[in-house]
Amino acid sequence: MSTRRKFMRSAGIISLAAAGGLASCSKQSLKYGDRNFNFNQQAFLFPKLKVSPDRIIRETVGLRPFRKTGFRVEKEMLDKKTIVHNYGHGGSGWSLSWGTGNLASDLAVATGEKKVAVMGCGTVGIATARLLQKKGCDVTIYAKDLHPNITSSVATGTWSPSSRVIEEENITPEFEEKWTKACNFSFNTFQQLLGLNQIVTWLDHYKMSNEVESGHGSHSSRLLIPGLLPESETISPENHPFHFAHANKQTTMVFNIPSYLAKQLNDFLSYGGEVVIKEFKTLEDVDALPEMCIVNCTGLGSKALFNDDNMMPISGQLSFLIPQPEFNYRISTPNGYAIPRKDGIILGGNAIRGNWDTTPDPDQTAKVVNALMEAMGQMKS
Ligand SMILES: Cc1cc2nc3c(=O)[nH]c(=O)nc-3n(C[C@H](O)[C@H](O)[C@H](O)COP(=O)(O)OP(=O)(O)OC[C@H]3O[C@@H](n4cnc5c(N)ncnc54)[C@H](O)[C@@H]3O)c2cc1C
């Protein structure tokens, strides 16, 4: 037999063996999937998160600017000046920034003033300033700090418009109406920011637990807009690779915070906006601004400055893992979540009411890292 034929024969044998191997592999995988191989397709979309303490590159503790009666968007007079408040967004400030910015900028525009000051340069302040520019105003932002030294920089940055946004018993029909308007406006604005260097992206969120879920967690049960996000769906254990009895999937949005803030601030400057670094210690400092109309977006800073007893911090600790570009889904377990962003994988999941301490707690780090290591260690391969 020629060498070539010998080769063809052995190659044939090998390819038959390979085909057999593939077939048995498919059969084996089918026990986790359906006849359309849905699980097999999905399996490739579930890369394992590389999680261990030595992959943590930084940790932060941020203070959510929670207001018991919900965010404040309203006018107040300070001598002859109009203050338009836009603060107190709790765990929803990223999500609602455009929406409450729209409501606040309408109130400012109604004063007839063309030169408007915005106090604060977080996500709420920048969105409000951009909307004021779009509505024809000349805007200066005054803030004591910019990214990365602001609460907006140490957020998870997901679409969560009803997370720790108000005490449930304080929800009034008026608040519900404002929230709904803000939520819809924000949602639509984020869709216009898709495709811009991934400052906003969509991704699948898998929520895992061993108990049947009861309640809405940190989210209000009344503040919901059906149909805004794709419906959440239950995934049966044979159709996901995780070792949990219950799994829910919902597709949602993530904001890549550093590039998002940089783009919005650059846009603001390109449209002629100015940023002045300035701390307001008293209301006299506010009154001394040259503008007659001032929009207050100082977040938690409003508690002391405007003497707002309704305001309190709810702290949240995050650990950042080395970026892992192939990790392309969000997973939440009862003891912590992992969310892929361009600047790292965010691990988090705690909330301490009334806590002003921004020192990371090693026990909290260990709790979340262990929860995710366990979830990854038990994944079906
Ligand atoms: C751990 C964590 C996770 C979060 N996750 C999410 C999430 O997934 N989705 C979501 O929608 N939201 C989330 N949030 C909430 C969100 O980050 C906040 O609601 C939002 O950042 C508030 O934005 P802001 O612009 O009002 O405040 P800030 O970002 O705090 O900005 C306030 C600005 O005002 C300035 N300022 C304050 N006081 C003064 C003063 N006296 N003088 C001058 N300037 C002053 C500051 O320097 C800053 O420029 C999270 C928050 C935390 C802490």
Q: Where exactly are the structural domains of the chain?
A: 53-377
| Ligand 1 centre distance from Cα of residue 66 (Å) | 10
- What pLDDT is stored for residue 23 in this prediction? 38
Reported as type and span, the H/E element at residue 338 is: strand 336-341
- What pLDDT is stored for residue 8 in this prediction? 40
- What pLDDT is stored for residue 215 in this prediction? 56
- What pLDDT is stored for residue 310 in this prediction? 97
154 close to ligand 1 (CB < 6 Angstrom): yes
101 close to ligand 1 (CB < 6 Angstrom): no
Nearest atom of ligand 1 to the alpha carbon of 87 = 26
Q: Would the pLDDT of 13 be above 50?
A: no
- What pLDDT is stored for residue 220 in this prediction? 74
Q: Would the pLDDT of 356 be above 90?
A: yes
pTM: 0.89
65 close to ligand 1 (CB < 6 Angstrom): yes
75 φ, ψ (degrees, to nearest 5): -95, 145
Q: Which of 71, 83, 89 to mutate to test the pocket of ligand 1 (most atoms within 8 A of CB)?
A: 89
Place of tokens 């909330």: 351
100 close to ligand 1 (CB < 6 Angstrom): no
364 close to ligand 1 (CB < 6 Angstrom): no
Q: CA–CA distance from 318 to each of 53, 150, 218 (Å)? A: 13, 14, 16
Which range (37-46, 144-153, 228-237) has the least confidence?
37-46
Nearest atom of ligand 1 to the alpha carbon of 125 = 25
Q: What angle do CA 109, 113, 116 make, to 5 degrees?
A: 80
| Ligand 1 centre distance from Cα of residue 119 (Å) | 12
Q: Which of 64, 96, 278 to mutate to test the pocket of ligand 1 (most atoms within 8 A of CB)?
A: 64
158 close to ligand 1 (CB < 6 Angstrom): yes
Confidence tier at 375 by pLDDT (50, 70, 90): very high
| Ligand 1 centre distance from Cα of residue 289 (Å) | 22
Helices and strands of the chain, counted as H and E runs:
9, 15
DSSP code for 117: E
Q: What is the rounded average pLDDT for all residues in the chain?
A: 89
- What pLDDT is stored for residue 163 in this prediction? 95
pLDDT, tens digit (0-9, with 9 covering 90-100), for 109-125: 999 999 999 999 999 99
Confidence tier at 141 by pLDDT (50, 70, 90): very high
- What pLDDT is stored for residue 368 in this prediction? 97
Class of the CATH-defined domain 53-377: alpha beta
Q: Which of 100, 150, 295 to mutate to test the pocket of ligand 1 (most atoms within 8 A of CB)?
A: 150
Nearest atom of ligand 1 to the alpha carbon of 149 = 47
Strands (E), 210-335: 233-235, 246-255, 274-277, 293-296, 311-321, 330-333
The residue nearest atom 21 of ligand 1, judged by CA position, is: 152
Burial zone of 134 (CB within 10 Å; 0-12 exposed, 13-18 middle, 19+ buried): exposed
* % of the chain surpassing 90 pLDDT: 78
| Ligand 1 centre distance from Cα of residue 304 (Å) | 15
121 close to ligand 1 (CB < 6 Angstrom): yes
| Ligand 1 centre distance from Cα of residue 202 (Å) | 22
The residue nearest atom 27 of ligand 1, judged by CA position, is: 299
89 close to ligand 1 (CB < 6 Angstrom): yes
Nearest atom of ligand 1 to the alpha carbon of 145 = 47
Confidence tier at 213 by pLDDT (50, 70, 90): low
Beta-carbon count within 10 A of 5 CB = 9
Q: What is the mean pLDDT of residues 87-116?
A: 98
Q: What is the mean pLDDT of residues 336-362?
A: 97
Residues 251 and 206: their CA atoms lie apart, in Å, by 9
| Ligand 1 centre distance from Cα of residue 203 (Å) | 24
pLDDT, tens digit (0-9, with 9 covering 90-100), for 255-285: 999 999 999 999 999 999 999 999 999 999 9
* % of the chain surpassing 70 pLDDT: 86
